[in-house]
């Protein structure tokens, strides 16, 4: 038995030697395989009599089918900001004879997924289902596109979700910077700069949605891509049944996108109190998607910010360690585009990072890249493009985009060759034409402390997180002590506050977390000077906290831990319900910044290192807004507190409505108060048996 393995080994050795095999040199990388000619994947195309164009990409690997409808009805077509977005979201809230609940139940029951959204140029609706459920899902899909009912009660449910989204967007500095960049570059009223707001969302009515749908959701303005385990012969009869009756309607002239009207050159700064880093965007307009220069500019953007190979990565990250992930990209809009480049950096190096970005732009304007550097970028772009063809849904989107932009299929096929043909001098010439200093606009979102350094670099225009021009600070003849004295008087006077030894606040809670709305109850207790406790109850979770003046504990859904460090210090210092009146005594370093609009603004640096900004009404001197960067278990995060509807309780004025906004949630409290109730020490420590 032992001879068989030995015999086998000898045979293999003899076979190897007899073929004249070379000894492998493991110190050298293997030679690349021969280049294969790229062939655009097979697809089929047809059109229904009503004008709906259909692309089919057959993929038999899994018994799954995806349908994606693209409609020329994007955000740029809004007559009220947010119209296209709300229309898309409302498609699934009732259609044909089905309610929102029935649509969701039917889709879930067969394990399908359904999504509707909008972007600048178009809206899309997509659904993915197992092949065996295709007919059921296709009926629902056709209903929501052709026969949405737009129920008024569903729109009312959607509004607070959209408002919560907007507030969360304002808390994300990178997203805020890009939104401001579009406004600065395209012009305040340009369709590509349009941005929904709380006010525009409130303006949208059911009749507006129906009018928008009636005008733009038409087969001649749409394409349908079908990807998956189905042939054109199998699905075409189904599509004729479900979409054949979709009427063209009157010929609608699609809106004309005007040329951009950039705002004045300079740095546009959005102050974000307490930020520990700045979001920088340097941007400029480029060309329409089908312009001959578009692809050269695409390579130029990749050269600046293509991951590890990009120039910003090598300078901002590797040379200076200013940031972890710099970026550069060119948008993909039909009529006009922009290149944006930048990074999120530490506050202290904001101006230095901006100078590095400007220097990199100057370098490419003056000198072309080397062939070696450019080849790395081009090979990466082409490789990414070709690898994407492994996903049939990419092919579908590519075909729909080509149809929308007016590209030929031959242009899609030869895209890799055109990218590989871009020369260093083409890049330098494109940079010289499009990246002139007067064409560039800069947006920075960050802490107010960086403003003087930005002003030293050029003209600065200040804006609010709502993207409105920020009112300038007007000098006020008030010291910190005088301002806080006015605040104390507005609350009820020093004697009243001094007599306050304990307080219980009971509140109805409305919590918005992403798309979830949660109702609950909150009880807060305080006893002089630093003892506090709170309990939040909702149907989904409970949260409690205790502070006995020395230690702080937090318990969430039965899991308790003791808080330490900066978070503990914050809890103790802010235990008093009117701690703002005693900021200097608590160790805050305070400064009256001046009057801004209807507020007198007080800046206070907390002993634990965070910046706070307090906004006192100029008429009443009551506190109406506080902006803070607060330490939490997950790291520092921005918090905005709004106080309104002050009421008199036993001679002290207290806010009935308190709203707390964070990047992840919005909490609204409708409160009642009890002053000086008896509270024992046991209220402010967790029970050992709990």
pLDDT at 633 over 80: no
pTM for the complete prediction?
0.79
Note the pLDDT tens digit of each residue in 597-628: 899 999 999 998 888 999 999 999 999 999 88
Q: What is the pLDDT of residues 56-74, one digit of tens each?
A: 999 998 999 999 999 998 9
Distances (CA, A) of 38 to 55, 193, 228: 21, 38, 22
Q: Is the pLDDT of residue 389 over 80?
A: yes
Question: In the structure encoding, which two tokens stand for residue 19, read together?
Answer: 């073929």
Cα-based distances in Å from 3 to 8, 10, 11, 12: 9, 11, 12, 14
Residue 10 has a pLDDT of 42
Lowest mean pLDDT among 11-15, 57-61, 508-512: 11-15
Closest CA to 447 of 345, 355, 357: 345
pLDDT tens for each residue of 527-541 = 998 899 999 999 988
Average pLDDT over residues 178-184: 96
Lowest mean pLDDT among 1-15, 363-377, 453-467: 1-15
* Torsion, CA 401, CA 407, CA 410, CA 412, rounded to 10: -40
**Once rounded to an integer, what is the mean pLDDT over residues 185-207?**
92
Give the per-residue pLDDT at 22: 52
pLDDT for residue 245 is more than 50: yes
pLDDT number for residue 665: 81
Q: How far apart are alpha carbons 541 and 552 in whole angstroms?
A: 20
Pair of tokens at residue 339: 């290149």
pLDDT at 24: 61
Binning pLDDT at 50, 70 and 90, where does residue 493 land?
Answer: very high
Contacts of 245 (CB under 8 A, 6+ apart): 146
- Sign of the dihedral through C-alpha 492, 498, 503, 509: positive
**20 pLDDT higher than 50:** no
pLDDT score of 308 = 74
Q: Which domains does the chain carry?
A: 44-243 (3.30.830.10), 267-386+406-463 (3.30.830.10), 480-684 (2.50.20.10)
Give the span between the Cα atoms of 206 and 204, in whole angstroms: 7
Is 25 a residue whose pLDDT tops 70?
no
Structure-block tokens of residue 620 = 């009443």
pLDDT at 32: 58
Per-residue pLDDT at 688 exceeds 80 = no
- Cα 682 off chain centre by: 44
Report the C-alpha gap between 321 and 327 in whole angstroms: 15
pLDDT at 189 over 80: yes
**Per residue in 419-462, pLDDT tens?**
999 999 999 999 999 998 889 999 999 988 899 999 999 999 99
Per-residue pLDDT band at 543 (split at 50, 70, 90): very high
State yes or no: pLDDT of 23 exceeds 80. no
CB contact at 8 A, 424 and 263: no
Q: What share of the chain in percent tops pLDDT 90? A: 71
Residue 305's pLDDT band (cuts 50, 70, 90): confident
Q: What pLDDT is stored for residue 491 in this prediction?
A: 97
pLDDT at 457: 93
Given this model, what pLDDT does residue 276 score?
80
Query: Which pLDDT belongs to residue 11?
Result: 44
Rounded CA-CA distance 606/587 in Å is 7
Residue 36: what pLDDT?
A: 61
Are β-strands 611-617 and 623-630 bridged in parallel, bridged antiparallel, or unpaired? antiparallel
Would you say residue 241 has pLDDT above 80?
yes
β-sheet bridge partners, residue 562: 553
Structure tokens at 636: 């520092």
* For residue 14, pLDDT beyond 50: no
Q: Residue 269 pLDDT more than 90?
A: yes
Q: What is the pLDDT of residues 210-229, one digit of tens each?
A: 999 999 999 999 999 999 99
672: confidence class by pLDDT, cuts 50, 70, 90: very high
Shortest CA distance to 115 belongs to which of 97, 89, 140, 94?
89
Question: CB neighbours (10 Å) of residue 453?
Answer: 15
Which pLDDT score, from 0 to 100, does residue 459 have?
93
Q: Chain-wide mean pLDDT for the chain?
A: 90
Predicted pLDDT at 33: 54
- Categorize the per-residue pLDDT at 304 as very low, low, confident or very high, splitting at 50, 70 and 90: very high
């Amino acid at each position: 038995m032992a001879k068989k393995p030995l015999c086998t080994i000898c045979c293999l050795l003899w076979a190897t030697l007899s073929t004249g095999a070379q000894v492998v040199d493991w110190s050298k990388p293997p030679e690349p395989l021969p280049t294969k000619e790229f062939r655009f994947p097979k697809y089929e195309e047809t059109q229904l009599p009503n004008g709906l164009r259909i692309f089919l990409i057959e993929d038999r690997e899994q018994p799954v089918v995806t349908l994606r409808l693209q409609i020329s009805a994007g955000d740029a077509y809004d007559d009220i900001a947010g119209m296209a977005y709300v229309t898309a979201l409302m498609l699934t809230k009732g259609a044909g004879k089905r309610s929102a609940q029935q649509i969701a139940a039917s889709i879930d029951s067969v394990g399908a997924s359904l999504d509707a959204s909008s972007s600048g140029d178009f809206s899309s609706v997509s659904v993915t289902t197992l092949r065996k459920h295709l007919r059921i899902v296709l009926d629902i899909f056709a209903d929501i596109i052709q026969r949405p009912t737009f129920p008024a009660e569903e729109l009312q449910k959607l509004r607070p979700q959209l408002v919560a989204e907007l507030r969360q967007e304002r808390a994300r500095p990178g997203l805020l910077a890009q939104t401001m960049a579009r406004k600065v570059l395209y012009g305040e009223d340009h369709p590509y700069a349009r941005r929904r707001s709380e006010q525009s969302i409130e303006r949208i009515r059911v009749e507006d949605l129906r009018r928008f749908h009636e005008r733009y959701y038409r087969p001649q303005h749409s394409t349908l891509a079908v990807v998956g385990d189905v042939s054109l012969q199998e699905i075409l009869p189904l599509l004729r049944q479900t979409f054949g009756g979709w009427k063209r309607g009157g010929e609608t002239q699609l809106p004309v996108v005007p040329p951009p009207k950039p705002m004045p050159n300079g740095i546009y700064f959005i102050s974000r109190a307490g930020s520990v880093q700045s979001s920088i965007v340097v941007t400029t307009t480029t060309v329409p998607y089908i312009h001959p220069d578009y692809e050269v500019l695409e390579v130029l953007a990749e050269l600046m910010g293509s991951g590890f190979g990009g120039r910003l990565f090598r300078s901002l990250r590797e040379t200076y360690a200013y940031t972890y992930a710099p970026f550069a990209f060119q948008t993909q809009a039909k009529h006009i585009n922009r290149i944006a480049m930048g990074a999120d950096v530490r506050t202290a190096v904001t101006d230095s990072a901006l100078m590095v970005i400007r220097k990199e732009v100057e370098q490419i304007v003056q000198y072309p890249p080397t062939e070696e550097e450019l080849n790395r970028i081009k090979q990466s772009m082409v490789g990414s493009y070709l690898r994407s063809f492994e996903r049939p849904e990419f092919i579908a989107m590519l075909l729909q985009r080509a149809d929308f932009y007016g590209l030929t299929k031959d242009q899609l096929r030869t895209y890799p060759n055109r990218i590989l043909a871009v020369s260093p001098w083409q890049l330098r010439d494109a940079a010289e034409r499009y990246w002139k200093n007067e064409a560039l606009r800069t947006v920075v979102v960050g802490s107010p402390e960086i403003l003087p350094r930005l002003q030293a670099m050029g003209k600065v225009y200040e804006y609010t997180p709502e993207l409105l021009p920020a009112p300038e600070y007007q000098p006020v003849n008030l010291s910190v002590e005088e301002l806080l004295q006015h605040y104390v008087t507005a609350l009820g006077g020093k004697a009243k506050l001094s007599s306050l030894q304990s307080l219980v606040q009971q509140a109805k809670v409305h919590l918005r977390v992403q798309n979830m709305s949660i109702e609950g109850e909150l009880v807060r207790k305080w006893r002089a000077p630093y003892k506090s406790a709170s309990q939040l109850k909702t149907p989904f979770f409970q949260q409690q906290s205790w502070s006995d003046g020395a230690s702080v504990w937090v318990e969430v859904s039965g899991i308790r831990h003791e808080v330490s460090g900066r978070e503990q210090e914050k809890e103790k210092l802010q235990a008093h319900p009117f701690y703002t009146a005693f900021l200097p005594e608590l160790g805050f370093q305070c400064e009256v910044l001046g009057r801004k609009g209807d507020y007198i603004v007080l800046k206070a640096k907390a002993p634990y290192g965070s910046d706070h900004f307090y906004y006192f009404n100029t008429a009443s001197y009551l506190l109406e807004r506080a902006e803070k960067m607060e330490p939490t278990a997950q790291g520092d995060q921005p918090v905005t507190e709004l106080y309104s509807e002050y009421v008199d309780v036993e001679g002290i004025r207290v806010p009935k409505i308190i709203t707390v906004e964070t990047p992840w949630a919005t909490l609204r409290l409708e409160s009642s108060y009890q002053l000086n109730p008896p509270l024992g020490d046991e209220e402010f420590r967790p029970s050992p048996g709990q």
